[in-house]
Structure 1
């Protein structure tokens, strides 16, 4: 049996400035008040079906690996959502098209749960900053809630 070693290292295997690699976990918190409005946002209206909530910014050069949605305190009964991303500048990118359900769709947000990314999407490297978006469906929110979203990725930088 032979031992075969690649002579050219993959570009994505750079370990960054630490011996532990460059995997990052970006944490975003979404909370609503007793009326269902998103706290620390530009709106005082309750979050409703069809609303797109920009939870935070995903940095350019970030390669998506996985995601988790931790519903600590659920939204109103029947509220579901889809989790994705949209570019901050509003302009799509053909190499990495914005996708409103990249991390999942039909996510049940009305009960405490840990929801793992279950999509079959390939990896995407953001060429520019993008909003992490949650689009609500199923029902309007009318209660206090708390949802944590963690996006795992590799900080590769922009080429």
Structure 2
């Protein structure tokens, strides 16, 4: 039987700190009793097809996983698509924008802890990206709280994957 040893990638090093280079970026979406996002650019209730920009994922981060914590669900039957779009509006040929990178049709109406719901591999963002949540099925008409945690490895902007 042969012994096969895989060449080690230098990127697997923990970096210059003893605690490593994995970051957990936290984004919170809360809505009021009418269904509108708090601390947002609009005070209208979230409607079908609305895309909420939850925050920014910096360039040079390798996105590997996510957790969606629905502690207070939205209106019954609401689902959401969780992904990213480049905040300059220009797609990337090496890492295309993906509106459902973390999951499509995630149940946002029921309290739950949801992990990344796709089998897509990790991606190294070549530029700053917005974390986006698209509202599907129904308009929101109640108070809710949803936390999204994005797990990413700080690698720096690279030209190759």
Fold conserved between structures, TM > 0.5? yes
Write the mapping of 1:31-50 to structure 2, written as runs, cut at 5 A.
31-50=30-49
Superposed structure 1 runs of 4+ greater than 3 Å apart: 1-6
Q: Which residue of 2 aligns with 1:111?
A: 110
Deviation track 1:40-90 (CA, whole Å, cap 9, x = no partner) reads 110010001100000000010010111110001000011000100000100
Please, which runs of 5 or more residues in structure 2 have no aligned partner?
none
Q: Which residue of 1 aligns with 2:85?
A: 86
Structure 2 CA distance, aligned partners of 1:48 and 1:22?
A: 38
Aligned length: 158
RMSD, matched Cα? 1.5
Structure 2 CA distance, aligned partners of 1:87 and 1:29?
A: 19
Structure 2 CA distance, aligned partners of 1:144 and 1:4?
A: 55
Q: TM-score, normalised by structure 1?
A: 0.94
SS of the counterpart of 2:48? coil
Shift of 1:118: 2.2
Please, which runs of 5 or more residues in structure 1 have no aligned partner?
none
Structure 2 CA distance, aligned partners of 1:103 and 1:11?
A: 27
SS of the counterpart of 1:128? coil
Q: TM-score, normalised by structure 2?
A: 0.93
